[in-house]
Chain A
Amino acid sequence: MRHTISILMENEAGALSRVSGLFSARGYNIESLTVAATEDPSLSRMTLVTSGPEMVIEQITKQLNKLVDVVRLIDLTEGLHIERELLLLKIKAATSTQREETKRLTDIFGGRILDVADSNYVVELTGKGEKIDAYLKALEPSWIVEVVRSGVSGIGRGNKSLQL
């Protein structure tokens, strides 16, 4: 089963490689991983999406907790939570069909056109992974120039939070 794990860790050099190294050394799946500093510059927050049988997921959270740089973590999948991903897309916009169709689909999906150049657009879209998949699927594949996805960021709903 797919699990989204949020991790607060010391914002130290090499902390990210401890996590990614753990996953490769122990053969765990890693679907996506995002990381950035928090409001407290000494802490980084990572959102990690993985999948596996329950016994493996239990091991993953235990092994992550065992890393000395990991301060705290929660498995967001255990409760109500929000997941978002950012898409930056460069798409051909040389013909009026391309421009109109891209504009129309982007509006439907609630995205924004960030950059308009002679022959292409850059589009921004946020949402769940499925929504971004659907948007990309709706576009004519031969128009797509570049797809940049951020990976998942997640946060718990209501009172459930990950803090010190």
Chain B
Amino acid sequence: MANKEVLTGAEILIRCLEAENTEFIFGYPGGSVLHIYDALFKQNKIQHILVRHEQAALHAADGYARSTGKAGVVFVTSGPGATNAVTGIATAYLDSIPMVVISGQVPTSLIGNDAFQEVDTIGITRPCVKHNFLVNDVKELASTIKKAFHIATTGRPGPVLVDIPKDITAHTTMFEYPHTIDMRSYKPVVSGHPGQIRKAADLILSAKRPVIYTGGGVVLGNASEELVEFTRLVGYPITQTLMGLGSYPATDAQFIGMLGMHGTYEANMAMHECDVLIAIGARFDDRVTGELEKFCPYAQIVHIDIDPSSISKNVKVDIPIVGAVDSVLQEMTKTIRESGQQPDSDALANWWAKIDAWRSNNCLKYDRDSVLIKPQFVIEKLWEVTKGDAYITSDVGQHQMFAAQFYKFDKPRRWINSGGLGTMGFGLPAAIGTKLAFPNEEVACITGEASIQMCIQELSTCKQFDLPIKVINLNNRYMGMVRQWQEMFYDSRYSHSYMDALPDFMKLAESYGHVGMQIEKPEDVEGALREAMAMKDRLVFMDFLTDQTENVYPMVAAGKGQHEMVLAPEKETA
């Protein structure tokens, strides 16, 4: 590529994205980005995926980013294009997903004039991006794009928005893409402090009742191998947050399940009783801690995180280590090995005996003899049929929790869900981005009849781009999680949580050109899943009519401590 040419801003933008090895742009054209779309038309290196709503462009880029670890790239136009993107930007921000969002803006001469399709995109997105830029001069465009990718993908990742006024995309300048960038105000820490790591190693080795608690940071930091090595070395129980699932194999005996509001009994009890808590790439979110006053009352806490502001935000920690989780874990493992010391095996044996006793409660049990389809059963069967190796995206609600509890993820980046923001409508577009990244892998979207309708128009995108996703719709005719809270905390006053006037999902899928299936009986679940998975080149929308009364257990209710769980009540047959 000739590196010095006079190009328009629009052409420069495309060249920058090529230089960043962008494979896909998820977007939707409009007035302010017409020059950009024209430049896009004239190239063939990057594929543009036309979504049906800008929110879906963000979620699709997000699914791509979560499954690959690379930055997702989005184009939206000014005004409504940008405001529609906000939910997706915030979704990525809360889960620290690397993303570069290019938004069109009205020409610089019109900014501030309440021009057609003008909003203050920089102002609107400021609280939900890692950083944003307004490009005022075409000469700054290339370096701004470089900075955007640099900021989005380094340190604690996150979405970066670049707002480009239309006239800038028409102006010309000499194009030269900077190979490196040095920002005096942005220098993320990489390696942890050796003294802190030694102190932490001593504490970890002295533990009698240790727990390893890991979060999304291990997935984002590609530190799965290091985590497995460390965990096996010490032999301690490990629990993971919703965002952390997959970075340690869920089928391994040391894994004691997800923790938190819908975590396992053994994980939450172990947290409550532990004397040393090793938190890795996790942020002590309220869904994890429950009531802070009651959180881990006996524990000394080690916290490894790349973001200093995550440390001692909610819970005061004893040994903070700021650094990238992979390098810190490598150092930690090395330090422990070289110390020649071993964990206290007697204490550890007693601790495991206690954990096994908690485990024997079998807290995830459900009625397997039900004549109605239990959502848990569908997920278990999906896990079996896909051999636990599919990419699973999900929406938000009960089905998301069932997926997290019952699909045992053994690999990182296979579990793709909106954990922090809890965005309904995330699952299907996220599956689009994932399937594009991994066309030969099985990609299933676990959803519910309420969530799926928030971005159902993307079935059209799936048709246009031939994306044979499997949609697992756990249809209980309710916003299940809302209904569950109303049942438990509002005396069963089901205020507006019933989904009336549902479409015929089979016909709906068919009208978009896909295959629709409806499954009503438990005995048909496995066969239907096998049949759907066998249709390698078709999107299959599987509408499972599930038990309307099923709730997610265990549950730590708001304001309760981790050890104060509601376990499944003796099941009344529905």
Chain A residues with a Cβ under 8 A of chain B: 9-10, 13-14, 17-18, 21, 25, 55, 58-59, 62-63, 65-66, 68-71, 164
Q: Mark B123-167, 1 if CB is under 8 A from A, else 0.
A: 100110011001000000000000000010000000000000000
List the A side residues contacting B463 at CB < 8 Å. Answer: none
Q: Is the CB of A68 within 8 A of B130?
A: yes
Q: Is the CB of A68 within 8 A of B184?
A: no
A68 adjacent to B186 (CB under 8 Å): yes
Inter-chain contacts of B122 with A (CB < 8 A): 14
Q: Which residues of B have CB within 8 Å of A21?
A: 126-127
Within 8 A of A (CB), among B472-498: none
Query: Are A17 and B309 in contact, with the CB atoms below 8 A?
Result: no
Which residues does chain A contribute within 8 Å of B183, judged by CB atoms? 68
Query: Which residues of A are found within 8 Å of B185, using beta-carbon distances?
Result: 9-10, 68-71
20 additional A-B residue pairs with CB within 8 Å, beyond A58-B312, A68-B183, A68-B186: A9-B185, A10-B185, A14-B126, A14-B134, A17-B123, A17-B126, A18-B126, A21-B126, A21-B127, A55-B316, A59-B309, A59-B312, A62-B311, A65-B308, A65-B309, A66-B307, A68-B131, A68-B151, A69-B131, A70-B185
* Chain B residues within an 8 Å CB radius of A71: 184-185
Would you mind naming 19 contact pairs between A and B with Cβ atoms under 8 Å apart? A14-B126, A14-B134, A18-B126, A21-B127, A55-B316, A59-B313, A62-B308, A62-B309, A62-B311, A65-B308, A66-B307, A66-B308, A66-B309, A68-B131, A68-B186, A69-B185, A71-B184, A71-B185, A164-B184
Contacts of B312 in A (CB 8 A): 55, 58-59
Q: Quick one: which of A13, A59, A70 contacts B134, CB cutoff 8 A? A: A13
Name the residue of chain B whose CB is nearest to the CB of A60: B309
Q: How far is the CB of A56 from chain B (nearest CB, A)?
A: 10
| Least CB separation from B122: chain A residue | A14
- In the assembled complex, the Cα of A76 lies from the Cα of B539 at a distance in Å of 61
Most chain A beta-carbon neighbours within 10 Å: one of B122, B127, B185, B313: B185
Chain A residues within 8 Å of B134, by CB: 13-14
Beta-carbon contacts of B170-193 to A below 8 Å, as 1s and 0s? 000000000000011110000000
- The minimal Cβ–Cβ distance linking A12 to chain B, given in whole angstroms, is 9
Which of A18, A66, A70 gathers the greatest number of chain B CB atoms within 10 Å?
Answer: A66
Per the 8 Å Cβ criterion, residues 272-310 of B in contact with A are 307-309
How far apart are A164's CB and chain B's nearest CB, in angstroms? 7
B313 to chain A, nearest CB (A): 6
CB distance from A137 to the nearest CB of B (A): 39
Residue in chain A with minimal CB distance to B126: A21
- For the complex formed, measure the closest distance between the CB of A122 and the CB atoms of chain B, giving whole angstroms: 34
B320 to chain A minimum Cβ distance, whole angstroms, is 11
Which of B130, B134, B313 gathers most chain A CB within 10 Å? B313
Shortest distance between the CB of B157 and any CB in chain A (Å): 13
Which residues of B sit under 8 angstroms from A164, Cβ to Cβ? Answer: 184
Chain A: which residue is nearest B130 at the CB level? A68
- The 6 A-B residue pairs whose C-beta atoms are closest, nearest first, are A62-B309, A68-B131, A71-B185, A25-B127, A62-B308, A68-B186
Return chain A residues, CB-CB under 8 Å to B184. Answer: 71, 164
List residues of chain A with CB within 8 A of the CB of B307: 66
Query: In the complex, are the beta carbons of B309 and A63 less than 8 A apart?
Result: yes
Q: Which residues of B contact A66 (CB under 8 A)?
A: 307-309
- Cα A10 to Cα B186 in complex, Å, equals 11
Tell me the nearest residue of chain B to A59, going by C-beta: B313
Most B CB within 10 A of own CB, among A9, A59, A63: A59
Kindly provide the distance from the CB of A27 to the nearest chain B CB, expressed in whole angstroms. 13
Query: How many Å lie between the Cα of A10 and that of B183 in the bound state?
Result: 10
What chain A residues lie within 8 Å of B123 (beta carbons)?
17
Considering the chains assembled together, what is the distance between the CA atoms of A48 and B316 in angstroms?
Answer: 25
A59 to B310, CA, bound (A): 9
Per the bound structure, the CA–CA distance linking A13 and B316 in Å amounts to 36
Which A residues touch B186, using CB under 8 A?
A: 68
Residues of B within 8 A of A58 (CB): 312
Which residues of B lie under 8 Å from residue A25 when comparing CB positions? 127
